[in-house]
Every structure is written in C-alpha cells, then in structure tokens.
Amino acid sequence: MSISKDKVKKLITHIYSPWGIQKKDRDVKIITDAEGVFFYDDNKKRYIDFSSQLVCSNLGHKNPAIVEAIIKQAEKLQYVNPSFITEIALESIEALLSVMPKGLNRFFFSTSGTEANEAALKMTRQFKMPEYKIISRYNSYHGSTSAGAAFTGEARRFISEKTRCATQGVVFAPDCYCYRCPFNLTYPKCNILCASYIDYIIKKEGSIAAFIAEPVVGTNGRIVPPPEYFPMIKNICDKNNILFIADEVMSGWFRTGKAFAMEHWNVIPDIITTAKGVTAAYTPLGITASSEKIFNFFENNPFSHGHTYSYHPLASSPIPAAIAEYKRLMDSGICQKGASYLKKKLYRLADKHQSIGDVRGIGHFWALELVKNRKTKESFDKKDDKIKMTAKVAADAMNKGLFVNPWKDTLIIAPPLIIEEDIIDEAIEILDKSLKIADEKSVSAGLSVCRSSEF
C-alpha cells in the first residue's frame, strides 16, 4: 500500500464510523482485495467472508459476469436524468420479471434498502389515504433514514425519535420469536398468537394502512417464523383491507433458498422492498416492487417521490448479469448442496458448545444465539458492557482468518451462496475454537441446544 501507516492513522480520524463511537485511535482493517468467498487486508492476510459482508455479497467477490456488465455500462452511459428510459433499465425490468413473485410487476429503483422502504411508505400512504399508520415489529430493522428508522422496532430508532425526525404513525407489534416468545408460550400450543394479535392491533388502533415485516428477520436475529405465521398475516391484512409489505432486503435473492423468502409460505405481499443481493452488492441499488392494483392508482394520481439517482444506469447494470448468475447457481445445485451442508455443520457445532442457546436459520441465513445459561436463556451482556460476548468471539475468529459479523447476542452466519464444503469446514473449525471464549463464561445447565427453526 502506497500510504504510510502514520498517514493512515491520521486520515481515518476524518471518517465517521457508522453505528459506533468515534475513537481517534480505533483499530481498522484496510481491505485491499477480494475474490470469491475471500477478502484480503493490506498485509495480504486472507479472510473467509462468512457473513457476506453485511449480508449482501451473495455471489461472492469479483464475479466476472457482473464485473464485465459494469465495465460495459460505464463505457457506454454512466448517468442520465431518471425521467428518461435507458436500455439497461429495460433489460433490468425484463430480468426482474423472470424471478419476481407473480403480480409484483411494477418497479421503482433507488439506491439502498432504506430508500426502497421509504418509497414503500410514501406509496402506501398515498394509495391508502386517509389511512396512514404502519404496523411494524419490535425486532425489526428497516433502515437508517427517517422513514426507515421509524419502521425499525429495535433500539436504533431511539435517536430519530429523540431528534423528532422520525416519521409519525408507526405501531409496533410482538415478534414471532419462538426462542424468546413475547407471550411466554410454546409452539404449536400458542396457536400463533403473535400473528392473530395483529388483527387486535388493527381493530384497536384504527387508520392502519399497512403491515411491514422481514420474512426472516435479518439484522436482529435471523428469526424464522412458524409455517402458519405469514399465511395468517396475509389473511388478516386482506380481511382488514390493509397492505402487506415484505422487506426482503436481506432475505431476498436466494439467501434462504428461494428467490424471495416469502415464497416458502406461498404468500404474495402487496409490496416487496429489496436491495443488497439484487446487484450482489457490486453497486448500490434498491427496488420497491408493487402490485398492479397499487400502480393503477397512480395512473391518475401523482407519485410524489423520486431521487436524482433513481434508475441510475451504472447502479442498475449488474441486475441482468446477477439474476443470470443466480439462476445458473440454482440450476447447478451448488446453493442447495451448500445450504444443506452448512445446516448440518452448524447443528453439530451448536451441540459442542454450551454457550450456544439457539441455532436457527434457513438456506445461507443463520444465527447462533449465545447465552450464559441454556436453562434460563440468560444473556451474557449487560447494557453497560462496552464489549459484547459475540464481539469477543468474532474478534478472535477474525484474528484466525474468519470474518463473522456479531450483532447483539447473535453471530451472523450468512456466507456467499457460492461457498463450498471445504471452506465451510475451515470456517466452522475456526469458529469452534473461538466459541471456547464464550463457553468459559457460560453455565452448563444440562440442556441440549434449541433448534427453533425446525418446526
């Protein structure tokens, strides 16, 4: 690297670090290269990307077909006013129509998942006026803009609320979090109260326009719902004439084994928002896809939304190539084989470590929830702990050459869909060693690990 260590140390003090305290001497990795399921730092050390960065590098790094598509577009047309139509926009729409759930055939392009959700909010409130309230869930994350933060149920919404920049009119509902059921019930005796309770909220609140949910909760736990949950939710939404918005920013693009996670339950929402995997993170792009019914409303009513970079040609350029790559991978069986092997290895790993309370997930989208005591499900960390146990385990794994993202009490296991068995073995071997840090502080309660994704 041409920049000296001293200069690097000085220059990084000018950079805001997202979602964290700004420390002048913070230790950062300088990443210089990436290929396949690996990335490399400035010392040429190799890391296995076991979280697909921020659950977005679904096709790995340096995919030749996507790189070529970006180069060709950059040489041809980099930007044009979004009121014009470009060839790449038309090619992208054609590719999207080949994989989107039936009936979701009208699209708005932005540049991120949070923008996709913001477009969904405006679209919904215009379509449903005068109804305006949105039901979200507490263990949700829908973005960092004012609208995205308003949708978000977890703690990152608090700053927006305190600064009064959060969008008003969002109501939060209990989660379908079976490991820590908010009603202290057990599936299936619970009768899926977390779903039926939505009907109660709708009737008591009034002015509800839509319900928004991640089909598989992403950032906040990779929570897979019971099979009855989303069919019940869709029926409740239809019965009460409100829209159902599925946030597939993380769960989309074959991350769970289907093009979109909602397909596992044969449910078609009114709106799907997505980003990340649509370009495999090679360019920033978000998509809001709606039903024709919603689109038809705007035939005679203005759609009051837009961005300078809507339908950006360069940002859109990977879409056809990425979709073709996803289809190729699914036809080859690589994804299915890798997902099955990953599941087996994670279950075996969890059986070995008493600090793992719950292992849950689907496809290439998993959580290892760490607990101090399996019997009581007591978490390791207190609110004032500066370094979380998951962060300690992840840091140790990173030192050993494995990148796995920690968030709250869970480790995010979400490797690229191209990962093969030998690399999964290598990753699990590292994680096996790093989890001993948590085991040393945990209490053996004589209970087996919970597998709450197995319904």
Listed in sequence order, the residues at least 6 apart from 375 whose beta carbon sits closer than 8 Å to its beta carbon are 445, 446, 447
> Tokens for 30?
């300088």
Residues 338, 424 contacting (CB under 8 angstroms): yes
| Rounded distance between C-alpha atoms, residue 274 and residue 286, angstroms | 6
pLDDT at 271: 98
**Which segments of 262-333 does DSSP mark as H helices, in order?**
292-297, 313-316, 318-332
Q: Is the peptide bond before 188 cis (omega within 30 degrees of 0)?
A: yes
pLDDT for position 27: 67
- CA pair distance 250, 253, nearest whole angstrom: 8
pLDDT of res. 161: 55
In one-letter notation, the amino acid at residue 312 is H
- Alpha carbons within 13 angstroms on the beta-carbon side of residue 114 total 11
List residues bridging with 212 in a β-sheet: 245
pLDDT at 361: 97
Domains of the chain: 5-62+332-439 (3.90.1150.10), 64-329 (3.40.640.10)
CA distances from 235 to 67, 198, 240, 425 (A): 43, 11, 9, 42
What pLDDT is attached to residue 345? 98
Tell me what pLDDT residue 4 has. 82
pLDDT (0 to 100) of residue 201: 97
What averages of pLDDT result for each successive group of 10 residues across the chain (455 residues)?
A: 78 82 72 97 96 98 98 98 97 98 97 94 94 92 70 60 62 95 96 97 96 95 96 98 97 98 98 98 98 96 92 98 98 97 97 96 97 94 81 97 95 98 98 97 80 68
What is the pLDDT, as a whole number, of residue 449? 82
- Strand partners of residue 410: 369, 407
pTM of the model: 0.93
Full DSSP string of 381-405? --TT-SS-HHHHHHHHHHHTTEE-E
